[in-house]
């Protein structure tokens, strides 16, 4: 929604989110609108009119991911943002839980992305699992090895970098992905796909020239696929027409777009892979907590009221120990709604309807 904001409105962000937004603008993947950003150090109170707020880091996989603590003259709110407990920086989410409990919020707004998991304790694949999985795929591959990844999770790219190094393959990234990876992880151990400079944002082209990043053409990969571990984004699937992948090639899907069958582009991705006889290999780690972990967070923070959001089935998010308000469209909520909320029943929490 950032591109649609009035440019005179202040936009409070965590410091790392501000840096990410700047980097995304440089590669033409951000708001591309001059906004009044106010980057804020973590756990530092700032004021806006009658409101006080602060950002508290959580682990989600993207730099700057944060919960927001909000004080108003009447109430205290905590918005969890997207978060997880099962990975490399789980201590950040644990710190958030402790601080949120001490804050004693009246209302906790918490994500429930994985509420539709059939098993409330569904298995978590960790970033370490991804690291080991990518390495195993690279060691086993006898033909082309391609992947897609979420560019805003630059730390994930280390798995592909290490696998390429261990198997003597050249890592080839999309130029925009390479820019983010370099600026957040401080490395340049990769090549990029050679593109027409007229189609690239000027800051990206300038960086590639100054940094001297090697550029690889599709013709260099054709017939020599085993020498590369190459990122092929959904928007670049046509590269396969020039590469002509050999039999037994693999395509590792590591949270790049499209994310899953719920997105229209998914079936098209599958058709491309089938046409070129590329084996689809899931290689993902969710940025979202399991339903069981979310329930535990709610109980540990123990707000006066919990309100689930960012969920297809919010009715499954909550605890019988904590009163709950379910969100409804176009519905304003009053203090009376908060004080009159009741905990959900076990039956409500297990209903997929």
Same domain, 184 and 275: yes
How would you classify the pairing of strands 66-71 and 76-79?
A: antiparallel
Same domain, 104 and 234: no
Q: What is the CATH number of the domain that holds 59?
A: 3.60.15.10
Same domain, 148 and 274: yes
19 within a domain of the structure (yes/no): no
Res. 210: pLDDT tops 60 = yes
Same domain, 249 and 322: no
- Put simply, whether the predicted model's pTM sits higher than 0.85 gets the answer yes
Same domain, 161 and 244: yes
Res. 44: pLDDT tops 70 = yes
For residues 96 and 334, give the distance between their C-alpha atoms in angstroms, rounded to a whole number. 27
Same domain, 266 and 309: no
Same domain, 345 and 306: yes
Q: Retrieve residue 127's tokens.
A: 């970033």
Same domain, 131 and 278: yes
188 within a domain of the structure (yes/no): yes
Structural domain of residue 63, as residue ranges? 41-120+288-349
Q: What is the CATH number of the domain that holds 219?
A: 3.40.50.10710
> Would you call 313 helix, strand, or coil by DSSP?
coil
pLDDT in tens, 104-159: 999 999 999 999 886 655 577 889 999 999 999 999 999 999 999 999 999 999 99
For residues 102 and 104, give the distance between their C-alpha atoms in angstroms, rounded to a whole number. 5
pLDDT in tens, 50-109: 999 999 999 998 999 999 999 999 999 999 999 999 877 899 999 999 999 999 999 999
Nearest to 239 by CA among 248, 247, 251: 251
Same domain, 144 and 277: yes
Res. 212: pLDDT tops 80 = yes
- How much is the pLDDT for 29? 77
143 within a domain of the structure (yes/no): yes
The pLDDT confidence band at residue 197, using thresholds 50, 70 and 90, is confident
Same domain, 163 and 105: no
Name the domain count of the chain: 2
- How much is the pLDDT for 159? 95
Residues β-bridged to residue 321? none
């Amino acid at each position: 929604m950032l591109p649609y904001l009035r440019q005179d409105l202040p936009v409070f962000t965590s410091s790392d989110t501000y840096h990410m937004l700047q980097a995304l603008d440089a590669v033409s993947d951000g708001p591309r609108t001059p906004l009044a950003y106010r980057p804020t150090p973590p756990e530092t109170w700032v004021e806006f009119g009658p409101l006080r707020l602060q950002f508290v880091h959580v682990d989600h996989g993207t730099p700057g991911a944060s919960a927001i603590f909000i004080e108003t003259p009447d109430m205290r709110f905590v918005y969890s943002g997207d978060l997880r407990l099962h990975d490399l920086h789980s201590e950040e989410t644990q710190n958030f839980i402790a601080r949120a409990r001490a804050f004693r919020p009246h209302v906790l707004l918490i994500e429930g992305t994985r509420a539709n998991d059939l098993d409330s304790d569904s298995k978590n694949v960790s970033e370490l699992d991804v690291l080991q999985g990518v390495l195993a795929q690279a060691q086993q591959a006898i033909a082309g090895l391609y992947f897609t990844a979420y560019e805003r999770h630059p730390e994930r790219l280390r798995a592909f970098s290490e696998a390429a190094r261990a198997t003597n393959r050249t890592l080839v990234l999309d130029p925009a992905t390479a820019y983010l990876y370099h600026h957040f992880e401080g490395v340049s151990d990769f090549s990029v796909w050679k593109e027409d400079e007229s189609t690239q944002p000027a800051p990206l082209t300038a960086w590639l020239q100054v940094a001297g990043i090697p550029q690889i053409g599709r013709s260099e990969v054709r017939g020599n696929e085993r020498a590369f571990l190459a990122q092929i984004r959904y928007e670049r699937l046509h590269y396969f027409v020039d590469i002509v992948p050999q039999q037994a090639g693999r395509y590792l899907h590591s949270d790049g777009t499209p994310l899953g069958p719920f997105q229209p582009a998914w079936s098209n991705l599958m058709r491309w892979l089938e046409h070129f006889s590329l084996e689809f290999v899931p290689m993902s780690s969710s940025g979202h907590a399991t339903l069981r972990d979310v329930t535990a967070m709610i109980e540990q923070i123990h707000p006066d009221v919990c309100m689930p959001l960012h969920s297809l089935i919010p009715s499954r998010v909550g605890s019988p120990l904590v009163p709950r308000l379910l969100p409804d469209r176009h519905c304003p909520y009053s203090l009376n709604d908060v004080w009159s909320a009741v905990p959900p029943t076990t039956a409500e929490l297990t209903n997929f309807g």
